[in-house]
Amino acid sequence: MKLNIQKLESKINEINNEIDVFQRKMSNVPTNVTHDLKKIVNELESKKSNFKDKIDLIKDKSDDAVVDMQIGVEMAWKDLSIAYDSVKERFKEVR
């Protein structure tokens, strides 16, 4: 199974857009929760960067190398997805 790099990069862009939304929303929440929200958004950004780094590594690799790296990319995506869902739920709680 070959990874679709364009699709993965599109997901990174979607996450970037959501991070922007989260950061804008932080200006409207009570200051006592802003610190916690910043922390989880920073974690999300870190996981997004890790995922993007893995995608960048495989862009110029052969198909065989991509297959070998696929597990790492899938694990990074899973971590990013879990972090995103966590941030999204946390912002719902703040409303």
Query: Residue 61: which residues within 8 A CB-CB, separation 6 or more?
Result: 69
Q: Yes or no: say if 55 and 8 are a contact pair by the CB < 8 Å rule.
A: yes
Chain centroid to CA 58: 17
Q: Which of 56, 71, 52 is nearest to 14 (CA)?
A: 52
pLDDT at 69: 83
By three-state DSSP, how is residue 4 classified? Answer: coil
Does the pTM surpass 0.75? The reply is: yes
pLDDT at 95: 63
The tens-digit pLDDT sequence of the chain (95 residues) is: 467 888 889 999 999 999 999 999 888 888 888 888 999 999 999 999 999 998 888 887 777 777 778 888 889 999 999 999 999 998 888 76
Task: Please report the sign of the dihedral spanned by the C-alpha atoms of residue 37, residue 39, residue 42, residue 46.
Answer: negative
